[in-house]
Amino acid sequence: MIGAIAGDIIGSVYESHCLKTTEFPIFTANSTFTDDTVLTVAVADCILNGKDYATTFKQYASKYPYAGFGGMFFRWVKSNSLEPYNSFGNGSAMRVSPVGFAFDTTDEVLAEARRSAEVTHNHPEGIKGAQAVAAAIILARKKESKTKIKGFIERNFGYNLSQTLAEIRPHYYFDETCQGSVPQAIIAFLESDSYEDAVRKAISLGGDSDTLACMAGGIAQAHYEIIPDHIIKEAKNRLDPELLNVVEQFNTKYSIP
């Protein structure tokens, strides 16, 4: 899941810039983890230790209240309720990458992605977005071709992945819904030729850059397997020790380089 986390950190400084190019500094002095990373680590913690998703999300968000959580989610965090709020925002998809790395069959991944999503994002689009990203990750882990990954996602989730980034980019702006960002992140991966290229292409759309790069980065890690050492080092250096500890435990348990 470090691929998702690094994507989040790299994209964090470009979210409000409406960037439309792949040419930008990969890290800056202000590059930092956001809510995407916090909840990605929370999902990993739940998988590692059998924790309840809703309770754990609230604990992590309360520990990092300034990470940039969405308004609806943070109101839920502060409430006394553990009931979902029918969201179809991309929060369900940005945090799901550990599911794709931890389970060994597509059916298991789809079921767990639903469980991780529906504690908050129980709208069909919120569940679908999480499942699509997680499915892309396990298919990439199983060495399926990009053509097969594209076909599976289109058949099972109804996303149009035939648009090109060149067609999308001129008219694309900030969209924090699953249906308005998950397909675009997957397309960024499909058009890429390396991990870094996938992240750069996702950010170049000029939208919700940290989340687009987080989703594309998680899939790209599974497909390319190799993330440049300097990117891993920079990402880990920007994590709090508590978050990094969970990442390292997860990587060890699931034999992720």
| Domain spans, the chain | 2-249
Strand ranges for the chain from DSSP E: none
Regions of the chain short of the pLDDT cut 70 = none
Phi, psi of 177 (to 5 degrees): -85, 155
Dist. CA 126–CA 39, nearest whole Å: 15
pTM: 0.97
Q: How far is CA 112 from the centre of its chain?
A: 15
Note the pLDDT tens digit of each residue in 191-231: 999 999 999 999 999 989 999 999 999 999 999 999 999 99
**What kind of fold does domain 2-249 have according to CATH?**
ADP-ribosylglycohydrolase fold (1.10.4080)
Q: How far is CA 212 from the centre of its chain?
A: 7
What is the pLDDT, as a whole number, of residue 256?
A: 85
What is the pLDDT, as a whole number, of residue 110?
A: 98
**Residues 168, 187 contacting (CB under 8 angstroms):** yes
Please count the other Cβ atoms lying within 10 Å of the Cβ belonging to residue 226.
10
Dist. CA 205–CA 1, nearest whole Å: 22
Dist. CA 179–CA 95, nearest whole Å: 16
Dist. CA 135–CA 138, nearest whole Å: 5
Dist. CA 83–CA 90, nearest whole Å: 18
**Residues 165, 191 contacting (CB under 8 angstroms):** yes
